[in-house]
Structure 1
Amino acid sequence: MADITDIRAILYTEKTLGLQEDGMVVIQTSPKMTKNGLKAVLKEYFGFTPLRVNSLRMSGKVKKFRGRIGSRPDYKKFYVKLPEGAQLENLEA
């Protein structure tokens, strides 16, 4: 079962701010989150059901630091279409 702790952040970039004007929010979550799980979390904690949810699996980049190879963690991005008048508030990531 998905939980609010699986949501890592709401992404704020130039592209996502442009999408927010059209009622679309981009959410970064853990890789185990599903579309139905995200819908259930949004309904339970924020009181609305999204109109549309699209998901994108992102692999962590491989990086070098002081000669050692490591990688950033994998995550999922969800593009969520909010209903009219709905907002995501009180989400500390």
Structure 2
Amino acid sequence: MSTKPEHYDVIVKPVITEKATMATELANAYAFQVARDASKPQIRDAVEALFGVKVTAVNTVVTKGKTKRFRGRPGRRSDVKKAYVTLEAGNSIDVSTGL
């Protein structure tokens, strides 16, 4: 599968948190922040093309933005869509290298 420019638009960045690291170690699942309008098949194709791995499942979650205060004035964080991508046994991704 060849890499297309659209694949870089689907995956925004890897999510490196304690929860995402635990998912990697326990279930061979990697977390990525993805475009809000990205579908599961698009995410699967992008991960397989960019990293050269075989994906078995894609689970997505939309985290609604919080209202926070900045210098006393209320502001709103953006909504974020994350994808938890489960890989076949034997496949792995080094998320520290970047895209």
Into which bin does the TM-score normalised by the smaller protein fall?
0.7 to 0.9
Deviation by residue 1:32-72 (Cα, 9 ceiling, x = unmatched): 22111101111222223310111101111111112222111
Identity %, equivalent residues: 29
Residue 15, structure 1, aligned to residue 19, structure 2 = yes
More helix by share: 2
Q: Is the 8 A contact 1:2 1:33 kept in 2?
A: no
Structure 2, unaligned runs of 5 or more: none
Q: CA RMSD in A?
A: 2.0
| TM-score where L is the length of structure 1 | 0.81
Structure 1, unaligned runs of 5 or more: none
Q: How many residues align?
A: 92
| TM-score where L is the length of structure 2 | 0.77
Residues in 2 aligned to 1:58 and 1:2: alpha-carbon distance in whole angstroms? 23
CA 1:58–1:2 in structure 2 vs 1: closer, same or farther (change >3 Å)? farther
Shift of 1:80: 0.9
User: 4+ residue stretches of structure 1 with deviation over 4 A?
Assistant: none
